[in-house]
Every structure is written in C-alpha cells, then in structure tokens.
C-alpha cells in the first residue's frame, strides 16, 4: 500500500503521517523532514536547500528527486510507503510514478487535507512559537509556501487524480482525532 498525503503547509499532514505510519506499518518518506535534517547538519545539500526554503520556495526538483528515488529503492519491498511532501509539482509527480513503475509498483491512494488559508495563517503563528520552526516565523514565506501549494501542488494532485488514482479528500479543519478517524476507516 503506497500512499501520498497532500495538504497545504500547516494542514497537519506531518501529524497524520506519523499516526498512519505507526498504525499501518508504513515507511514514512518526508522530503520536508529530510531537508530540515540536512539544513541542521549544514551539509552541501542543506546549505543549498535553505536558500529556497527560507523564502518559502520549493527547492529545485533535482535536489529532492534523486534522494526520493534512492529512499524508495531502499524501501520498496517494505510493507508500503507514505510519501509526505513529495511530489510538490507535476514534474515530481511524473518522476515518482516512473520511479515506482521501474519496480512494477504504483500509488494506491491520495489523501488530501483541505484547510482554508485564514486557518493556515493562524496555525503558522502558533507553530512558530510552539516548535520554533524557522519557516513559520516569516509571514511572507508562509504566504509563499501557501501560493506554491496552490500554483504547483494542486495541479500535481489533479494530474495524479487524472491517472485514476483513488483520492480521499478530507476537511482538515477538524480535530486531529476526527481527521485520523476518516483516514483509518479508509485504510482498514
Ligand atoms: P514541508 O515540511 O513538507 O512543508 O517542507 C518544508 C520545505 O522544504 C518546503 O517549503 C520546501 O522549501 C522544501 N521541500 C519539501 N519537499 C519538497 C519537494 N518535494 N520539492 C521541493 N521542495 C520541497
């Protein structure tokens, strides 16, 4: 069972991903977590990625695509993978489907958490304080991340949907438990 979880920044996809991966034994591939770890290590990739993520922009496809491919190839025989934060645009979506196809594998489900923009902005202020996340502190960068989602990621979701992949759209403006209940029902 391979799943992609989509949602704008601050939609709660990281939280839901952790619950799904624990309960259903899936491997979590999160490009955001991976890039933050590289930024903290100050690796060459981290230094390059930081220039973009600080501005709320997507890092160039080449920087993430190669790592996602390597991670997937290392884990493709696991029980299943939850992709969180990848793909973010149509090219990445095509790339992911091709990487999977090489192993005769596919995506079984898309989960899309929908949250209105006003709520995302409220959450950004809260998370910047609670988790000290640099990328939530700058409100211009938060706005740009939301715009990247609208302009690049929504078309990727639509592209994947058009290939016939089943999609579960959820109102993300509910409690963590309520959202998870809907996901759990679908996966059980
Ligand atoms: P996230 O935690 O998924 O919101 O990701 C945090 C930041 O990492 C994003 O704002 C982007 O700058 C970068 N990032 C994460 N995933 C990708 C991706 N698939 N493609 C490009 N940039 C990404």
**Is the distance from the beta carbon of residue 88 to the nearest atom of ligand 1 less than 6 Å?**
yes
pLDDT > 90? residue 185:
yes
Per-residue model confidence as pLDDT tens digits over 16-60:
999 999 999 999 999 999 999 999 999 999 999 999 999 999 999
> What's the whole-number average pLDDT of the chain?
95
Nearest CA-CA partner of 94 in 65, 131, 116: 65
Give the pLDDT of residue 188: 92
Give the pLDDT of residue 137: 82
Q: How far apart are CA 149 and CA 10, in angstroms?
A: 11
pLDDT > 80? residue 134:
no
pLDDT classification of 136: cutoffs 50, 70, 90: confident
Q: What is the pTM for the complete model shown?
A: 0.95
CA 128 to centroid of chain Cα atoms: 19
Give the pLDDT of residue 156: 98
Nearest CA-CA partner of 69 in 46, 107, 45, 96: 96
Give the pLDDT of residue 73: 97
pLDDT > 80? residue 146:
yes
**Is the distance from the beta carbon of residue 112 to the nearest atom of ligand 1 less than 6 Å?**
no
Pocket test for ligand 1, best of 4, 32, 50 (most atoms within 8 A of CB): 32
**Is the distance from the beta carbon of residue 89 to the nearest atom of ligand 1 less than 6 Å?**
no
Ligand 1 atom 12, closest CA: 53
Give the pLDDT of residue 166: 98
**DSSP symbol at 152:** I
């Amino acid at each position: 069972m391979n799943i992609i979880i989509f949602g704008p920044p601050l939609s709660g996809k990281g939280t839901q991903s952790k619950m799904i991966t624990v309960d259903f034994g899936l491997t979590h591939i999160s490009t955001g977590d991976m890039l933050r770890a590289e930024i903290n290590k100050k690796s060459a990739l981290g230094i390059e990625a930081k220039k973009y993520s600080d501005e709320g922009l997507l890092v160039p496809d080449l920087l993430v695509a190669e790592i996602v491919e390597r991670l997937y190839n290392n884990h493709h025989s696991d029980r299943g993978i939850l992709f969180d934060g990848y793909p973010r645009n149509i090219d990445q979506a095509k790339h992911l489907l091709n990487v999977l196809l090489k192993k005769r594998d596919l995506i079984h489900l898309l989960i899309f958490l929908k949250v209105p923009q006003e709520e995302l902005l409220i959450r950004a202020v809260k998370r910047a304080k609670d988790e000290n996340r640099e990328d939530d502190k700058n409100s211009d960068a938060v706005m740009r991340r939301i715009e990247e989602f609208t302009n690049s990621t929504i078309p990727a979701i639509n592209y994947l949907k058009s290939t016939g992949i089943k999609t579960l759209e959820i109102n993300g403006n509910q409690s963590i438990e309520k959202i998870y209940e809907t996901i759990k029902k679908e996966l059980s």
